[in-house]
Amino acid sequence: MKTKFVCVVLFAGLLGLHACKKDAATALVRVPQLPEQTEKYAEVASGTFATGNLTINDHKATLGRVLFYETQLSVNNSVSCGSCHIQSKGFADIGAVSIGFGGGKTSRNTPSIANPATQTSYFWDMRENNLQNMVTQPIANHLEMGLEQPEYLVAKLKQLPYYEELFTKAYGSSEITTARIGDAMSQFVAALVSVNSKFDRNLAAGNTEFNELEAMGSDLFFNKLPCAGCHGGDNFAGWGSMAENIGLEEHYSDPGMPGNDWITGEERNGWFKVPSLRNIALTAPYMHDGRFNTLEEVVEFYNSGIQPHPQLSFILREGWNTGDQIENGFAPPSGGQPLRMNLTPVEKDALVAFLHTMTDDQLVTQTKYSNPFVLTSYE
């Protein structure tokens, strides 16, 4: 009886071994599938505000696209940059915070990265002002992708056969370096140009494309409310990059941007980068901590919920448009009360309708910005 049990176990083990060999023979591998004709990144980006001073190279941007969606850039091959910057979400994420390679959660919401070349600093706390460094920081982050040693990153990519041709086309040789990785990824990210929204079409058509509600929202945004005071410029993120305290709390547990408040001289508390509003209807949830799930909630916060933080932006204080709050040319007194907009339901709807006009359907659907990887079997 004992001998029979052993035989059965051995037979079952042999069957399992055979099955494993069969599975290994037909294992699926993840490889990029690129078109024969190199995608035109430079052509679309050239001459637009969204590329800044950066000249896009099609082959470098193509390599950058592959690297952007490459899960091998994480320590356990589980996540890529594209895991948290999702094309259909305007290159933002789906949750209040993002999930890293080991299931850990980031401390802040993942913002959209469209039109990054117009910006002079990156991340919510504006800690980085170089686009090449910005795109590689998440790779080394201990929560996000976990590849803290640059030499390990290079060694991993050298084991992948498809990079030899991609690096050669981009740089004239197959050599893989961290500098080239950062350059190629920044080329692709800089090519994430968003300038084809209804707002852009309306502007080009002499303000004739908006319906009545959208036009009302535009007037509120630019003329009757202080929205454009922060969300100005072509990218609706200020001119270059700027940080503000918008009164989400009376005291923030996350202090945001380091440094000292320019009015009080005290250590900053609650200063965060002003995000772009392009594709804002796609990028929920909102704010640095993802506390608001809808644009309606965001509008209501600005309408009635701004808190009296001592470092609150003077643009969000009562009297912002009368000059009564201004001292010495710029700084309002610290006692300025939070703005209450007192919007009607129709005005709230109008603002939301206007924000929806900033959606760029081309950016979120074009193949050249999408994940190029497919699963294929090998023998």
Give the pLDDT band of residue 2 (cuts 50, 70, 90).
very low
Domains with residue ranges and CATH for the chain: 28-193 (1.10.760.10), 198-362 (1.10.760.10)
pLDDT value at position 28?
A: 83
Query: Given this model, what pLDDT does residue 279 score?
Result: 98
Q: Which residue has the higher pLDDT, 349 or 378?
A: 349
User: How confident is the model at residue 5, as a pLDDT?
Assistant: 29
Reported as a single tens digit per residue, the pLDDT across 268-291 is 999 999 999 999 999 999 999 999
Give residue 376's pLDDT: 87
The DSSP code sequence of 194-233 is ---SHHHHHHHTTS-S--HHHHHHHHIIIIISSHHHHS-T
Nearest to 271 by CA among 299, 308, 246: 246
Mean pLDDT (the chain, rounded): 87
Three-state DSSP state, 72: helix
pLDDT at 62 over 50: yes
> What's the per-residue H, E or C state across 122-150?
ECCCCCECCHHHHHHHHHHCCCCCCCCCH
Report whether pLDDT(183) > 60: yes
Residue 198 is predicted with a pLDDT of 97
Phi then psi dihedrals of residue 331, to 5 deg: -85, 130
Q: Per the structure block, which two tokens stand in for 251?
A: 């005291």
| Residue range 148-157: mean pLDDT, rounded | 89
pLDDT tens-digit series, residues 77-126: 999 999 999 999 999 999 999 999 999 999 999 999 999 888 889 999 99
CA angle 255–121–231, rounded 5-degree value: 80
Least confident of 311-315, 323-327, 332-336: 323-327
pLDDT in tens, 235-277: 999 877 899 999 999 999 999 999 998 777 899 999 999 999 9
Those residues whose C-beta lies under 8 Å from the C-beta of residue 306, and which sit 6 or more positions away, are 246, 247, 312, 316, 338, 339, 340
Average pLDDT over residues 178-206: 95
Report the C-alpha gap between 136 and 161 in whole angstroms: 22
pLDDT at 187: 94
- Whether residue 325 is predicted with pLDDT greater than 60 in this model: the reply is no
| Nearest alpha carbon to residue 114 among 90, 131, 148, 96 | 90
Give the C-alpha separation, 280 to 296, whole Å.
Answer: 12
Residue 7 has pLDDT above 60, yes or no: no
Q: What is the pLDDT of residue 368?
A: 97
**Whether the predicted pLDDT of 135 surpasses 70:** yes
pLDDT above 70: residue 9: no
pLDDT category, 170, cuts 50, 70, 90? Answer: very high
Contacts of 80 (CB under 8 A, 6+ apart): 68, 69, 70, 71, 73, 74, 145
Report yes or no: 163 and 321 within 8 Å, Cβ to Cβ. no
